[in-house]
Amino acid sequence: MSMPKVVLFDIDGTLITTGGAGGRAWSRTFEKLFGVPADITKFSEVGMTDPNVARQTFRGTLGRDATEDEFAALIMGYVMALPDEIDSSEGYKVFEGVVPLLELLAKGGALIGLVTGNVEGAAHIKIMRGGLNRYFAFGGYGTDSSDRGELTVRAIERAAMIHGHDVDPKGVVVVGDTPRDVDAARYAGAVSVAVATGDYSVDDLRRTEADHVLPSLVAGFPGI
């Protein structure tokens, strides 16, 4: 394929690892608000949206659904706790090849966006430490939909708004590290690039029938 016109990137496991900062921010917020720490890994899966993570962890930890006020406090507490956890995380890392690839795409005329289950505030906090915010003009977030496919469609709609005309999803590339990212690209009619920098191996990702599977973003990005 030729240089893509629109490229959408997942964050966690694709662009960066926070070294567990997100989980620590959730736990800290649960303990501060409700008197108990919470382990999101017990009640959620990689690739889920933040609102779903919060709801399922609340239910699993406290045995009931959150009230509207409790849920708002939990989301806001998490976003407010996240910067300190990101800044102090010894395991925070921008993956190899990310910055050179983003530079090439930007200089090659691609419109670059985020497509992530993070709520919008958390998404930008997570990539700020790595100096990556400058590369992303728009995105689809966990604040747009609890469904990864729908938030990917929303990101493509925003790309169309920037361009001032409809964007053919077949010309959009969605980059992620989980089967959920591949499913979301397929749902939106976009090209999927699965990268094995997260919890899934190359073989795992090949089984998703992604359009392209890469061991890392150093290796042969399609169109470049």
Residue pLDDT, tens place only, 176-198:
999 999 999 999 999 999 999 99
Average pLDDT over residues 95-116: 96
Average pLDDT over residues 42-51: 84
Select from 119, 125, 126, 151 the least CA-distant residue to 51. Answer: 119
Whether residues 127 and 205 fall in one domain: yes
The neighbour count for residue 212, using CB atoms within 10 Å, is 17
The DSSP letter of residue 118 is: S
How confident is the model at residue 222, as a pLDDT? Answer: 85
Q: What six digits make up the tokens of 26?
A: 């959730």
Whether residues 204 and 157 fall in one domain: yes
Q: Kindly indicate the confidence band of residue 37, based on its pLDDT and cuts at 50, 70 and 90.
A: confident
Q: Where are the alpha helices (DSSP H) in 35-147?
A: 50-62, 68-88, 98-107, 120-128
Compute CA distances 40 → 44, 74, 108, 148, 196, whole Å: 6, 13, 39, 19, 22
Rounded Cα gap, residues 171 and 158, in angstroms: 14
Partners of residue 12 on adjacent β-strands: 16
Average pLDDT over residues 159-184: 96
* For helices 50-62 and 68-88, angle between their N-to-C axes, nearest 10 degrees: 110
- Identify the domain boundary among 88, 113, 133: 88
Partners of residue 7 on adjacent β-strands: 112, 173
What Rg do the C-alpha atoms of the chain give, in angstroms?
Answer: 17
Residue 84 has pLDDT above 70, yes or no: yes
How confident is the model at residue 4, as a pLDDT? Answer: 87
Give the range among 41-45, 87-91, 120-124, 215-219 with minimum mean pLDDT: 41-45
Give the range among 15-19, 122-126, 144-148 with minimum mean pLDDT: 144-148
Percent of the chain exceeding pLDDT 70 equals: 100
Which residues constitute the domain of residue 49? 21-88
Whether residues 105 and 202 fall in one domain: yes
Q: What six digits make up the tokens of 161?
A: 């708004």
Under 8 Å between Cβ of 139 and 123: yes
Query: Into how many domains does the chain fold?
Result: 2
* 114-128 pLDDT tens trace: 999 999 999 999 999
Under 8 Å between Cβ of 114 and 137: no
- Identify the domain boundary among 88, 108, 142: 88
Q: Kindly report the backbone phi and psi dihedral angles of residue 194, in degrees, each rounded to the nearest multiple of 5, phi listed first.
A: -100, 130
Average pLDDT over residues 81-97: 97
Residue 74 has pLDDT above 80, yes or no: yes
How confident is the model at residue 219, as a pLDDT? Answer: 78
How confident is the model at residue 220, as a pLDDT? Answer: 81
Whether residues 189 and 162 fall in one domain: yes
Q: What six digits make up the tokens of 116?
A: 């992530």
How confident is the model at residue 224, as a pLDDT? Answer: 76
- Identify the domain boundary among 88, 107, 124: 88
How confident is the model at residue 105, as a pLDDT? Answer: 95
Whether residues 25 and 13 fall in one domain: no
How confident is the model at residue 1, as a pLDDT? Answer: 63
CA-based max dimension of the chain: 54
Average pLDDT over residues 135-162: 96
Average pLDDT over residues 81-101: 97
Under 8 Å between Cβ of 115 and 184: yes
